Amino acid sequence: MSLEKYRDTYEEASGTLSTICRSIAFAGIGIVWVLANENTEVFPRVLIGALVLLALSLLFDMLHYLYKTILFHIIFRKIERNKLPENYKTSILLNKPTWCMFWLKISFVIVAFGLISWHLIQSLF
């Protein structure tokens, strides 16, 4: 497989993972809402933690795409104005924030669902 095909494959997979992560974060907020409405007297702290993590995941999802959009727009404009060569190769350092935000948003969702699962297990037993 060519290098370009590998890049296309991981870009497609990371985009799909972001979409799935976003959907799961919204589903998690819905689950917390349902669980919170069952017990209106006391809102379990573990669910508050899960809700905060899910909100952070959505925030980092937006920041991830905002940063990447601004970064590549700036590079595009510089290439368009002939201030950079057309085959300009982006520095790894410029993409590090994108990857950090990508992994943070996924990690937040995983930990949030761990907390929700913990709450459900504790409620059952």
The tens digit of pLDDT for each residue in 75-94 reads 999 999 999 998 998 889 99
| DSSP-based helix, strand, coil % in the chain, nearest 5 | 85, 0, 15
Q: Which residues span the domain enclosing 104? A: 3-124
Q: Is 51 within 8 Å of 108 (Cβ atoms)? A: no
Task: Give the per-residue pLDDT at 35.
Answer: 86
Tell me, what's the pLDDT at 68?
94
Q: Tell me, what's the pLDDT at 7?
A: 85
* For the chain, percent of residues with pLDDT exceeding 90: 79
Please state, in angstroms and rounded to a whole number, the distance separating the CA atoms of residues 34 and 63: 28
Burial class (CB in 10 A: 0-12, 13-18, 19+), 98: middle
Is residue 50 within 8 Å of residue 112, measured between CB atoms?
A: yes
Which residues 6+ apart lie within 8 Å of 17 measured at CB? 106
The pLDDT, as a whole number, for residue 40 is: 65
| 13-42 tens-digit pLDDT | 999 999 999 999 999 999 999 988 766 667
Total count of domains within the chain? 1
Task: Give the per-residue pLDDT at 42.
Answer: 74
Per-residue pLDDT averaged across 5-15, rounded?
91
pLDDT at 51: 97
Instruction: Give the ranges where 39-91 is alpha helix by DSSP (H).
Output: 45-80
Tell the burial category of 66 from Cβ atoms under 10 Å away from its Cβ (0-12, 13-18, 19+): exposed
Report pTM. Answer: 0.89
